[in-house]
Amino acid sequence: MSPLSGSGANPLRDPADRRLPRIAGPSGLVIFGVTGDLSRKKLMPAVYDLANRGLLPPGFSLVGFARREWANEDFAQEVHDAVKAHARTPFREEVWQQLIQGMRFVQGTFDDDDAFERLRSTIEELDKAQGTGGNFAFYLSVPPRSFPVVIQQLKKHGLADQTGGSWRRAVIEKPFGHDLKSAEELNKVVHEVFEPDQVFRIDHYLGKETVQNILALRFANTMFEPIWNRSFVDHVQITMAEDIGIGGRAGYYDGIGAARDVIQNHLLQLMALTAMEEPASFGADALAAEKEKVLGAARLPKDLGKSTVRGQYAGGWQGGEKVIGYLEEDGIDPKSKTDTYAAIKVEIDNRRWAGVPFYLRTGKRLGRRVTEIAVVFQRAPHSPFDHTATEELGQNAIVIRVQPDEGITVRFGSKVPGTSMEIRDVSMDFAYGESFTESSPEAYERLILDVLLGDANLFPRTEEVELSWKILDPIEEYWDRHGRPAQYKSGTWGPAEADEMLARDGRSWRRP
Amino acid sequence: MKIDLTDTTAGDINKALVQGRRDIGTPAVGMVLTLVIVTDEENAYDALKAANDASREHPSRTLVVIKRVSRSPRDRTTSRLDAEVRVGAEAGTGETVVLRLYGEVVDHADSVVLPLLLPDAPVVVWWPVNAPLDPAKDPLGALAQRRVTDTYAAEQPVRELSARAAAYTPGDTDLSWTRITPWRSMLAAALDQVTCEVKAVEVEGEEFNPSCELLAMWLAERLDVPVKRLLSSGPGLTAVRMNTSCGPIVLDRADGSLATLSIEGQPARAVALKRRETAELIAEELRRLDPDDTYASALRYGVERLNTAPEPQSTAAEPEPLEEAAEEAAAKTAKAPAKKASAKTAKKAPARKAAAK
């Protein structure tokens, strides 16, 4: 599907030879903001893990760019420590020896022209010494306000120019703006310098095995798709809960809030994958087309006051630890209206889903860390059993557990052993770790490899980002004008208002 | 936990498996395949250890079939089946049953294995040593979708390759082939980087290592150029040199872990190419259970078509008689190790008795 980079007619490549992994062509990765948490905990280990699995090309180069006064050796030491601490696969000296040859560090700030000149000469030097062939991906692990300046600098110093068949790609992290207008501006800034198909927006959820498995579950099987519609599904709940607070991210989080931070990207993407029609192929264009159709068909209920809830965590006990409330956190304005919990109801106006609500919720300091998609089915229209027999029977459900403990649970009724007829809910479980590799690749490994291969399947496009903002913007505007976030005790499953919101529809939240 | 069953039947073993799972509190487990290991007592420990490590990636029911040698006519007429059922922490992520077969039942191992296979799940048979001449026709091999042999463990590896080629049935595979996947992927990646035509290839590696022949045959089959097989003192494969229209491409690994890739006009680069453990090989083998057509076409290319100049047994001869000779020789070889193995065990037994005294 994705042509391998390099020459097309390699006689050693054969589609039938499935042992040979997809190895990226000659290339390098430049990380801006390389001293940050994400880089140390996720990106550097992912690069090592890829190398360890033999998926990086010989001569792969890693360039760090940051303000710190480091020499190449200090940088290599930093990567070494990060890899030792966070890599998924065991540390092997020979893999490290392979990687270290292509490691460079460029010191400078984002507005420093000299530094970008040095970056350019570093890249040229790597092309000569490592044979990277001018193919570089620029990973912008930087605060959103620095995006424009870095992108402009790349343009100014000719770093984004693709010459002689080589490629230059930009990898950007969320947030992709904070509303539709800013997202459009950001897209304009990026697309001025990089071609749209060379821009990769990382939504690390889409790199997770379970999320990709949603497509396998739905479209590779026959037993789920026939009931995946309004005739059988009662409603869908998509939850992403965190047990931590905002930690040290006050500066970033305040004013953004849970809905912009999580619902706009992760949850709406999960909703799109759950609700979309079958794509014509598994190619990037076909997938994006189907996701865009679903996001375009999403509608908000008229009364936003009754169909959305936002909250802020108050002090309390979370898993045996005493924790403080959001408004007491360091660096947070005590009058802040930022939401740390958000729940919304979305309807999808098409023939498959008309009348089936999708409830999306996310929050910090909730009961435990969990992400899941629960498709809850309607009750049987008629039951031959009398009322007492089915008193304890709930609704059937298929739950796709995205993290942790990736897997799928099916809930259905079963007879309780004994002489009387009594039917109760039981669960049938499929756990990834049980049937497949214990070491399924980290999302970032998959995504970095896809960037180097130029495979855009798992990356949201400009249109998807803008459509998601179109769904969220009216809610944020309504919240700005009306009321304050409800307070909920840390360690619980959110404010009472959220329960009331579902109770009004005659439903209740699952306890994940 | 471990349950020992002496003089038992497959039915009782099944009961013990259910009981064992119930006792440790996991009545249903998501095992994806049954792995049958056919081996002798000598190799059972290592093979089982590798399989348990691999089971972390592929939870499976592992059946170890150990055929015990009978040393008297009386022993040969009686038959007995002993089993050791392991579930939980002792069996990796799956379940393990070690089956010891004595006497007549040795020739009917399939009757013991068949009732113990997981329903609906694929079956893989692995012979760490002494693989049958025609794996697909073997009673145990016939139960499996995938039959894993290892020519590296054979007495005459290169002749064994010819025998494998003659008997090839879709689903056959060889750990010697699995061993070279990293080499193959690195060579393919090297050719990705250039647009030249390959003229000739040299594959260099230790003697009696069929991986070198398999790699040479694969290159010869894919590239359609003459491939020379050269000997070195190892470890394993040491170098592949491709002579191309734009200069040589060399992948050189002298120490068995870190290799150097040199392409004309490009800087030399270090690449990690570590020799892998058996557990990793088995894990790779279990990842795909469909026939490996690439292996088939490489194997069928034929060892005799390689220019194996310093190889004593396949020097200058007419091509046709050579093929026959190879087949004949292979037939002999296949019998020989079996004899040899029994001889070994027989020799060992008195020693053990002596020690007991």
pLDDT per position as a tens digit, B138-165 = 999 999 999 999 999 888 888 889 999 9
Q: What percent of chain B has pLDDT over 90?
A: 31
A16 chain-B contacts, CB cut-off 8 A: 293-294
Substitution target in A13, A20, A166 with the highest count of B β-carbons within 10 Å is A20
**CA A318, CA A223: separation in Å to the nearest integer?**
40
Beta strands B198-205 and B227-231, pairing class: parallel
Q: What is the pLDDT of residues B12-23, one digit of tens each?
A: 999 898 888 888
Determine which helix (DSSP H) or strand (DSSP E) holds A238, and give its type and residue range. Answer: strand A233-241
Q: B347 pLDDT band (50/70/90 cuts)?
A: very low
- Name the closest residue on chain B to residue A435, using Cα atoms: B30
What is the reported pLDDT for B66? 93
What would the pLDDT profile of A233-271 be if each residue is shown by its tens digit?
Answer: 999 999 999 988 888 777 788 888 899 989 998 999 999
Bigger pLDDT: A52 or B55?
Answer: A52
Whether A131 and A56 have beta carbons less than 8 Å apart is answered as: no
Contact B185 A130 (CB under 8 A): no
In 3D space, the residue among A282, A432, A62 whose CA is nearest the CA of residue B32 turns out to be A432
Question: Chain B contact for A10, CB < 8 A?
Answer: yes
Distances (CA, A) of A473 to A234, A295, A461, A468, B262: 27, 14, 18, 9, 55
The answer on pLDDT for B322 being more than 80 is no
pLDDT at A175: 82
Q: How many angstroms away from the CA of B50 is the closest CA of chain A?
A: 15
Nearest one of B214, B243, B246, B251 to B229, comparing CA atoms = B214
Q: What does each C-alpha distance from B198 to A57, A350, A485, B227 come to in angstroms? A: 20, 56, 69, 11
Alpha carbon distances (Å) from A288 to A3, A283, A397, B254:
19, 9, 27, 48
Tell me what pLDDT residue B120 has. 82
Nearest to B267 among A21, A130, A430 (CB): A130
Torsion angles phi and psi, residue A427, rounded to 5: -115, 140
* Host H or E run for residue B35: strand B33-39
Antiparallel, parallel or unpaired: β B198-205 and B237-244 = antiparallel
Using pLDDT thresholds of 50, 70 and 90, give the confidence band for residue B101.
very high
In the three-class reduction of DSSP (H, G, I as helix; E, B as strand; rest coil), residue B84 is classed as strand
Residues of each annotated binding site of A for NADP(+): 67, 174
Confidence of residue B326 (pLDDT cuts 50, 70, 90): very low
Same domain, A364 and A470: yes
All residues at 6 or more sequence positions from A324 whose CB lies less than 8 Å from its CB, including other chains: A245, A315
Alpha-carbon distance A61 to nearest alpha carbon in chain B (angstroms): 11
Helix and strand numbers, DSSP H then E, in chain B: 11, 14
Q: What is the mean pLDDT of residues A219-243?
A: 94
A25 touches chain B (CB under 8 A): yes
**By three-state DSSP, how is residue A431 classified?**
strand
Q: Give the residue among B226, B283, B136 at the shortest CA–CA distance from A439.
A: B283
The vertex-A315 CA angle with A314 and A319, nearest 5°, equals 115
Kindly state whether residue A196 falls inside one of the protein's structural domains: no
A-chain residues near B201 (CB < 8 A): none
Residue B349 clears pLDDT 60, i.e. is over it: no
- Domain membership of residue A192 (yes or no) is no
* Overall average pLDDT of the A427-431 stretch: 82
| Residue among B188, B189, B270 whose CB faces A98 most closely | B270
Please judge whether A58 and B186 are an interchain contact, meaning their C-beta atoms are less than 8 angstroms apart.
yes
Cis? peptide before B235, omega within 30° of 0: yes
Q: Work out the minimum CA distance from B121 to partner chain A, whole angstroms.
A: 12
Flag if B270 and A97 touch (Cβ within 8 Å): yes
Which residues, listed in sequence order, are joined to residue A64 by a DSSP beta bridge?
A31, A105
> Per the domain annotation, does A183 fall within a domain?
no
Calculate how close chain A gets to B106, using CA atoms only, in Å: 32
What pLDDT, on the 0 to 100 scale, is given for residue A367? 87
- Residue A423 has what pLDDT? 86
- Is A430 inside a domain boundary? yes
Do A294 and A381 have their domain in common? yes
Residues A322-350 have a mean pLDDT of 91
Q: Name the closest residue on chain A to residue B224, using Cα atoms.
A: A11
Of A333, A340, A338, A343, the closest CA to residue A364 belongs to A340
Chain mean pLDDT for chain B: 81
CB pair distance less than 8 Å for A7 and B192: yes
Q: Are residues A169 and A213 in the same domain?
A: no
For A168-216, what is each residue's pLDDT tens digit? 999 998 888 889 999 999 899 899 899 888 999 998 888 888 888 899 8
Cβ contact B222–A12 (<8 Å): yes
Q: Is residue A4 part of a domain?
A: no
How many helices and strands in chain A, by DSSP H and E? 17, 18
A383 shares a domain with A262 = yes
pLDDT at B183 over 50: yes
Task: Give yes or no: residues A112 and A211 share one domain.
Answer: no
> Which residues on chain A are in Cβ contact (under 8 Å) with B219?
12
- Is A54's CB within 8 Å of B182's CB? yes
Q: What integer is the mean pLDDT of A474-499?
A: 92
Asked if the Cβ–Cβ distance from B292 to A19 is below 8 Å, we say yes
> Confidence band (pLDDT; 50, 70, 90) for A435?
low
**In the prediction, which pLDDT does A293 show?**
95
CATH of the domain at A484: 3.30.360.10
Instruction: Find residue A105's DSSP bridge partners.
Output: A64
> Which residues of B are less than 8 Å from A431 in CB distance?
30
Nearest CA in chain B to A97: B270
CA distance B156 to B311: 12
pLDDT, tens digit (0-9, with 9 covering 90-100), for A107-146:
999 989 999 999 999 999 998 888 888 899 999 988 888 8
Q: Is there a contact between A131 and B266 if contact means CB atoms under 8 Å apart?
A: yes
Above 50 in pLDDT, residue B341?
no
Q: What is the pLDDT of residue B27?
A: 55
Which residue type occupies B267?
P
Task: Give the range of the structural domain holding residue A310, as residue numbers without chain letter.
Answer: 206-441+456-504
Helix H or strand E encompassing B201: strand B198-205
Residue A274 lies in a domain: yes
Instruction: Please state, in angstroms and rounded to a whole number, the distance separating the CA atoms of residues A140 and A142.
Output: 5
From chain B, the residues in CB contact with A6 under 8 A are: 192-193
Domain holding A135: CATH number?
Answer: 3.40.50.720
At A249 the pLDDT is: 78
Chain B touched by A439 (CB under 8 Å): yes
Which residues of chain B have a CB within 8 Å of the CB of A128?
A: 267
Residues A216 and A349 in one domain: yes
Does the structure show a pLDDT above 90 at A385?
Answer: no
Q: What is the pLDDT of residue B337?
A: 44
**A441 and chain B: CB distance < 8 Å anywhere?**
no
Residue where the block lists tokens 């770790």:
A433
Residues A280-307 have pLDDT tens digits of: 988 889 999 999 999 999 999 999 999 9
To the nearest whole angstrom, how far is the Cα of B161 from the nearest Cα of chain A? 20
Strands B198-205 and B95-103: unpaired
CB contact under 8 A, B271 and A437: no
Residue pairs between chains A and B whose CB atoms are closer than 8 Å: 128
Residue range B198-249, pLDDT digits in tens: 899 999 999 889 999 999 999 999 998 999 989 988 788 999 999 988 889 9
pLDDT band at B255 (very low <50, low <70, confident <90, very high): confident
- In this prediction, residue A64 has a pLDDT band, given cuts at 50, 70 and 90, of very high
Q: Can you spell out the DSSP letters for A264-324?
A: IIIIHHHHHHHHPPPPSSSSHHHHHHHHHHHHHHEE--S-HHHHEEEEEEESEEETTEEE-
Regarding whether A355 and A420 lie in a shared domain, the answer is yes
Q: In chain B, what residues touch A440 (CB-CB under 8 Å)?
A: none
Rounded Cα distance, A209 and A190, in Å: 29
CA A332/CA A322 separation, integer angstroms: 19
What's residue A46's pLDDT?
Answer: 93
pLDDT band for position A360 (cuts 50, 70, 90) = very high
How far B13 CA lies from chain A's nearest CA (Å)? 23
Look at A298 and B90; give whichever has higher pLDDT: A298
Same structural domain for residues A35 and A135? yes
Tell me the mean pLDDT in the region A215-224: 92
Rounded to whole angstroms, the Cα distance separating B129 from A304 reads 70
Distance CA A308, CA A501 (A): 7
* Binding-site residues of A for substrate: 204, 208, 242, 261, 364
Helix (H, G, I), strand (E, B) or coil at B337: helix
pLDDT > 70 in chain A, percent: 97
Whether residue A299 is found in the same domain as residue A153: no
Residues of chain B positioned with their CB less than 8 A from the CB of A95: 272
Same-domain pairing of A390 and A285? yes
The chain A residue lying nearest B187, using CA atoms, is: A12
Q: Tell me what pLDDT residue B320 has.
A: 43
Q: What's the pLDDT at B23?
A: 82
A510 within a domain of the structure (yes/no) = no
Tell me what the pLDDT averaged over chain A comes to.
88
Coil, strand or helix at A456: coil
Put simply, whether A59 touches B (Cβ < 8 Å) is yes
User: In whole angstroms, what is the distance from residue B7 CA to residue B12 CA?
Assistant: 10
Report angle CA B212, B213, B218 to the nearest 5 degrees.
100
Residue of A nearest to B258 (CA): A94
Are A332 and A277 in the same domain? yes
Structural tokens at position A265: 């990207």
- pLDDT bracket for residue B339 (50, 70, 90): very low
In one letter, which amino acid is A74?
D
Query: Looking at the complex, does the CB of residue A11 fall below 8 Å from at least one CB of chain B?
Result: yes
- Residue A133 near chain B (CB below 8 Å): yes
| Catalytic center residues of A | 266
Q: b/e per residue, A196-220, with b = 16+ CB within 10 A?
A: eebbbbbbbbbbbbbbbbbbebbee
Q: pLDDT (tens digit, 9 = 90+) per residue, A137-175?
A: 999 988 888 888 999 999 999 888 888 788 999 999 888
For residue A5, give how far its alpha carbon lies from the nearest alpha carbon of chain B (Å).
7
Q: Residues of B with CB below 8 A from A4's CB?
A: 192
Q: Is A435 on the interface with B (CB under 8 A)?
A: yes
The reply to whether A188 falls in a domain is no
Same domain, residue pair A159 and A258? no
As annotated, the binding site of A includes 67, 174, 204, 208, 242, 261, 364
Cβ atoms within 10 Å of B236's Cβ, excluding its own: 18
Other residues' Cβ atoms within 10 Å of the Cβ of residue A170: 23
- Helices of type H across chain B: 10-24, 41-54, 73-77, 109-113, 157-167, 175-178, 181-192, 210-223, 278-287, 293-301, 319-356
Tally of structural domains, chain A: 2
DSSP string, B299-310: HHH-GGGSB-TT
